[in-house]
Chain A
Amino acid sequence: MPVLNQTPSNIPEFSVSELSGAIKKTLENGFSQVRVRAECGRVTIAKSGHIYFDLKDDKAVINAIIWAGTARNLKTKPEEGLEVIATGRITTFEGQSRYQIIIDTIEPAGMGAILAQLEERRKKLAAEGLFDETRKKAIPYLPKTIGVITSPTGAVIRDILHRITERFPSHILLWGVLVQGDKAAAQIVHAVEGFNALSPNGETPRPDLLIVARGGGSIEDLWCFNEESVVRAVAASEIPIISAVGHETDTTLIDYAADLRAPTPTGAAEKAVPVRAELDAYLSSVEGRLKSALLRRLNNAKLELNAIQSNFPKGQDLFAYQAQQLDNIELRLLPALQSQISKANNLFAKTGTKFGTHLLGQDLRLKKQNLSALENRLAQGVKSTLRHEIIKIERQKDAATQVFGRLSLAFKQNTNSLTVKLDSLGNRLNILDYKNVLKRGFALVQDKNNQIIKSAEAAKKAHELNIIFADSGIIAQIKPQKPEQGNLF
C-alpha cells in the first residue's frame, strides 16, 4: 500500500484558542467603530442591567450588547421592532464562536422610526388604561391656586401669566423645570409629584389645577413629554392637569394622559380660568332674572288680591242706589217748588188787598221751613242708609280699607253737593218771591176776579183793575183810551 505522503506544509498550526484570539484581534481592529442600521429583534435585559438584543435585517442577524453603564445614559433604548442606527464595535465571544456588536450609542433611525416607536409606546400605555376617559378629572371652574410646571424663563411662562392676569387674576405657583434634554423628564416627574405631595392647607397651598407647558420645538426637543415616566406621573396625578406642549399640531404622550389638552400655553391659561368680566356680566344677568321673577310673583299676588277684592261691592255700586234717589228727589223738588210758587201766586191773586203781603211772606217762610225740614230728612235718610251700608262694608275684609276710605269721601261729597243744591234752590225761590219785585217799584194788575192782567188789551176789556203795590192794593177804573195813550204803565 502506498503511503500517502502529504507534503508537509509550512502553514503554522494554531490551537483553537490561538485561532479564536486571532479572529478576535482581526475583527476588533477591523471593526472598532461601526455604524449599523437595523431593526431591533428580541430584547433581553439582564439583572445586571446589561441589555442583550438582536440587530437584524431581512437576511442577517447580529447579536448586540449594551452594557449597563452605557444603557443608563442612552436616550433611546432598544425596543423590539424599532429601527435604529447603532454605533459600536465588533467583538467576539470566543466560548461559542460568536461575534457580536458592543453598542455605545443607539438612536432611532429616521422620523418614521421615531413615530413608530411613539405609537408602540402609546399603544402599550393605552392598553394599561392610562389614557381612559374615565380617569379624566374635571378641571375646576375657578381654581384657587394654579401650579405651573415649565421653564421659569422665556415666552411660555410669560404668555401663561399674561393671559391669566387678563382673564382672572389668580394665585400662581411656578415650579421651574428643564423642558428638554436628558434631565427634563426626571424634573417634570418630580414637579408633578411634588405638587401632589403638598397639603391643601399647608404653608405652600396645594394647587387645585396644574399646567404642564412647553413651547414649540422639534420632536426631539419635545421628547421628554413622551417619556413613559412623565406620562405615568401625569396620569397618576390627583390634581387635574392641563397639558400644553408645543404647537397645536404637536401631540405628545403627556397630552393623552392629561385631563385636558390645550393646543398652546396661552390656550392652557384660557382653559384654566374663566373671564372675570364675563362672569360679572353673567352674574348681573342672573340677578336681573331673579329680580324680575320676584316682581312677576308680586304682580301675580296683586292680581290675585284684586280678584278677591272684585268680589266685594265697588264703591260706586254701593252708592248707585242712593245717588239715584238723590237725583230723583232733586228732580221732584224743583217742580214741587215751582208748583208752590204758582200756588202762592194764585193765593196772592185770590186774597188781593184783603191780605197783606206779609201773609204771603209768612206762607213762603213756612214753605221754606218745610223745605229745609225736607232737606234735613233727606240728608238724614241718606246718611242713615249710607251708615248702614258702611257698617256692612266694615265687616268685610281689611283689604278693602282703602276702598272704604274712598267711599266715605264720596259720601261726604254727595251730601255736600246736595246741601249746596238745596241752598241754591232756596235762593231761587227768594228771587221768585214777587213781593220783592213789588218793592222794587213794580205793581201787580188783576181784574175783579183776581186774575192777573198781563196785557193792555186785557186791561181795556176789564172795567175795574186791582193794582197791588208793595204796601197795599188800590182799585182802578178804566177810562176809554185814546190810541196814542198806549200802555198804562
Chain B
Amino acid sequence: MPATDEIDIKSLSFEAALRELEEITRSLETGEASLEDSIKLFERGSALKMHCDEKLKSAQMRVEQIVETQNGIKTKPYSDDKN
C-alpha cells in the first residue's frame, strides 16, 4: 500500500498534490479522525509535501525557439544576440 501510494503521489501535478495536502491538513485539523487514521493522514501529507518540494526544487529555466522545417516543428536554443 505505501508503494502504490508513492507511485500515485509521484504522478500528481504540483497543484493537485498541494490541493490534496491542503485537504488532508484541514481534515487533520478538525481532529475527528481516529488516532490511527490521523497518523496515516499525516504520513500521506508529509509525502505530498515532499513531492511538492521536489517539484519546486527541480524547476529550471529553459528557453527554446521554434524552428519550422520540412520535417515539422523543431526547436533551437534561444539567444537574444540579435538585439
Which residues of A line the B interface, CB within 8 A? Answer: 140-142, 152-154, 157-158, 161, 164-165, 168-176, 191, 194, 198, 203-204, 276, 279-280, 283, 286-287, 289-291, 293-294, 296-298, 300-301
Contact = CB atoms under 8 A, between A and B. Distances in A.
Given A141-B14, A204-B73, A286-B22, A297 B60 contact: no
Contact of B64 (A173, A280, A301): A173
Given A204-B66, A280-B56, A297 B38 contact: yes
B72 to A, nearest CB: 8
Interface string B15-47: 100100110110011010101001100100110
Contacts of A157: 80
A196 to B, nearest CB: 12
B60 A169 contact: yes
29 contacts: A141-B14, A141-B15, A152-B65, A153-B83, A154-B83, A158-B83, A168-B59, A169-B61, A169-B62, A172-B62, A173-B64, A174-B65, A174-B78, A198-B73, A204-B64, A204-B66, A280-B53, A283-B53, A286-B22, A286-B49, A287-B46, A287-B49, A290-B42, A293-B25, A294-B38, A297-B28, A297-B38, A298-B35, A300-B31
Contacts of B75: 173, 204
A172 B65 CA distance: 8
Contacts of B22: 286
A39 B52 CA distance: 61
A268 to B, nearest CB: 15
Given A141-B14, A173-B66, A283 B49 contact: yes
Contacts of A141: 14-15
Contacts of A280: 53, 56
B56 A171 contact: no
B29 A289 contact: yes
A272 to B, nearest CB: 13
Contacts of A291: 42
B82 A152 contact: yes
B63 interface: yes
Contact of B63 (A172, A204, A276, A289): A172
A283 B18 contact: yes
Closest 3 CB pairs of A and B: A169-B61, A141-B15, A293-B28
A165 B60 CA distance: 8
Contacts of B45: 287, 290
B15 to A, nearest CB: 4
Given A289-B29, A290-B45, A174 B66 contact: yes
Nearest to A304: B35
Contact of A294 (B15, B42, B49, B55): B42
A117 B30 CA distance: 59
Nearest to B33: A297
Given A169-B59, A174-B63, A297-B28, 13 more contacts: A153-B80, A164-B61, A172-B61, A172-B78, A174-B78, A176-B65, A191-B66, A286-B18, A287-B49, A293-B25, A294-B39, A294-B42, A297-B35
